[in-house]
Amino acid sequence: MSTIKEELAVIKGVRFGMRDEPWPCLVFGVELLTGGAAITLHYEDAAKLIRKHHIGNIQNLDGMPCIVEINGRTVKFKELKK
């Protein structure tokens, strides 16, 4: 059974646009202590994040710390760490 834990990560390689999903999304990598993961946020979730943190340019997210939830081999973005 997997244990769910939170970990500090760093955002890298931020992009916004159409990917494999049928809607636009915010895509970025996160660097963890034990490796990395790709994160995809639906455009509505991305808009909420941008509004909440008053992000003027998504490129400003590059290098920002964030909290991710790790459950086995699954990594989920939780929040920016300010």
Q: Which CATH number fits the domain that encloses residue 50?
A: 2.40.50
Q: pTM for the complete prediction? A: 0.89
**pLDDT, tens only, 21-30:** 789 999 999 9
Confidence bin at 20 (pLDDT 50/70/90): confident
Report, as an integer, the average pLDDT of 38-55.
Answer: 95
Sheet containing 74-80, strands listed edge to edge, beginning at the edge strand earlier in sequence? 35-42, 24-32, 4-18, 65-71, 74-80
**Portion of the chain with pLDDT greater than 70, in percent:** 98
What's residue 2's pLDDT? 67
**pLDDT, tens only, 67-79:** 999 998 899 999 9
State CA 3 to chain mean position distance: 20
DSSP conformation letters of 21-57: SSSEEEEEEEEETTEEEEEEEEHHHHHHHHHHTT-S-
Residues of the domain holding 14: 4-80
What are 65's two structure tokens? Answer: 């710390």
